Amino acid sequence: MLLCYSIMNLSGNRKAALKKLKNLFFSLKSDVKSFRAKFDSVFTNSILPNNVECSERSYGGVSCDFFLPEIYITKRIILYIHGGCFVGGSKQAYRNFAASLASAASARAVVPEFRLAPTHAYPASLEDVQNVFKTIYTEELVANSLEYDNSKNPDDSKSEIIIMADGSGASIALGLVLSLSEKLRSSISKIVLFSPWLDLGADSKKFTEKKVCDELYTAESMFRAAEMYTFQNNRNIPFVSPLRATKEQLRFFPPVYIQMGENEFLLDDAERMERILLEAGGKCTLDVWKNMPAMFQLADEYFEESHLAVEKIGRLFTVQKIKEGL
């Protein structure tokens, strides 16, 4: 199902928003060290919204930020995998956004500091995220089993793990889900993706059509980021380019919700992902916001739509629970 929203931009400061959001994407004009420093400088905010608490924890040997909102569903936890073109981004830079999502979804949240390319190429980031997920799964299973020990309903002890990711983090997130057994996949209640990067294949039209570009980044810069992430031979495998997964690999896939801006360079890939998942018997909703750029959710001081988009994420889970009679 394709949803399009036309909401007036109340701030009117689109130029400033785009200037900020460009720092999310690697540029050929910058080196990796400078890109990472600028990314963290622009997006780090020490003040968290809605009294959400943040602490550091280790999951599977990986340092993570752990978020605890004032009100949360005991069994619900978010694993957020950040973007940054595989070479940048950090849990520190995503604290404000992760806290907003945790509050909106009434869920605890975990944001891992996984290893980055080019120093740590594929599959380092995927391995880190796998270790974090498996630790979360085990801890939640034990905690819920103890809490619902006397329950006659086996679903009472079932965890509600939500996978969220943006940009290049979506490639890692879907690679994670594709690597899981049916049993582990069943613990994931939903996958939420923001402006996902789904195909790194060298033969992708994104890379072969030189004139193609986005408001925020170019095809050439994406190609360079992909080169730093992994060898060309790896870029066609589903764990790197989930858009190339087979129907068999997508069996028992959790429901997917994708939120994107209408002006995005990668929108057609998301449309293809939606079709592939639906053809495989899964569920997928592509939610397109009119006149919005990639990752508009991170420009909340400029776009009213940023706040509305996060609120809508929260309603995904509120409405779900109401339907279930909980």
pTM, 2 dp: 0.93
Instruction: Identify which of 200, 84, 106, 210 has the alpha carbon closest to the alpha carbon of residue 160.
Output: 106
pLDDT in tens, 244-291: 999 999 999 999 999 999 989 899 999 999 999 999 999 999 999 999
Q: Phi/psi at 204 (nearest 5 deg)?
A: -65, 140
Q: At what angle do helices 304-323 and 95-105 cross, to 10 degrees?
A: 40
Q: Token digits for 9?
A: 């931009």
Instruction: Compute the Cα dihedral for 271, 275, 278, 282 and give only its sign.
Output: negative
Peptide bond into 118 cis (omega under 30): yes
pLDDT at site 65: 98
Instruction: Identify which of 238, 123, 250 has the alpha carbon closest to the alpha carbon of residue 185.
Output: 250
d(CA 192, CA 284): 10
Write the CATH number for 269.
3.40.50.1820
The pLDDT of residue 183 is above 70? yes
The pLDDT of residue 155 is above 80? no
- 3 state DSSP class of 10: coil
Instruction: Identify which of 200, 209, 197 has the alpha carbon closest to the alpha carbon of residue 232.
Output: 200
pLDDT at site 203: 84
pLDDT at site 267: 95
d(CA 316, CA 165): 16
Identity at 227, one-letter amino acid code: E
Instruction: Compute the Cα dihedral for 151, 316, 40, 133 and give only its sign.
Output: positive
Kindly list the distances between the CA atom of residue 148 and the CA atoms of 77, 85, 158, 194, 249, in Å, as whole numbers in the listed order. Answer: 17, 41, 9, 34, 33
| H/E run at residue 4 | strand 2-5
Overall average pLDDT of the 79-94 stretch: 98
- Which residues, listed in sequence order, are joined to residue 108 by a DSSP beta bridge? 77
Please count the structural domains in the chain.
1
**Position 301 confidence tier, pLDDT thresholds 50, 70, 90:** very high
pLDDT in tens, 228-253: 999 999 999 999 999 999 999 999 99
The pLDDT of residue 322 is above 50? no
H runs (alpha helix) in the chain:
14-21, 32-43, 95-105, 124-147, 168-179, 182-185, 205-208, 219-229, 267-279, 304-323
The pLDDT of residue 202 is above 90? no
The residue with tokens 């995503």 is 94
- Which residues, listed in sequence order, are joined to residue 256 by a DSSP beta bridge? 191, 284
In this predicted model, which residue has the larger pLDDT, 324 or 136? 136
Quote the distance between the C-alpha of residue 54 and its chain's center: 19
The pLDDT of residue 212 is above 80? no
DSSP string, 63-120: EEEEEE-SS--TTEEEEEE--STTT---TTTTHHHHHHHHHHHT-EEEEE----TTTS
Q: Which domain holds residue 86?
A: 2-323
d(CA 42, CA 302): 14
Q: Phi/psi at 17 (nearest 5 deg)?
A: -65, -45
Overall average pLDDT of the 32-57 stretch: 97
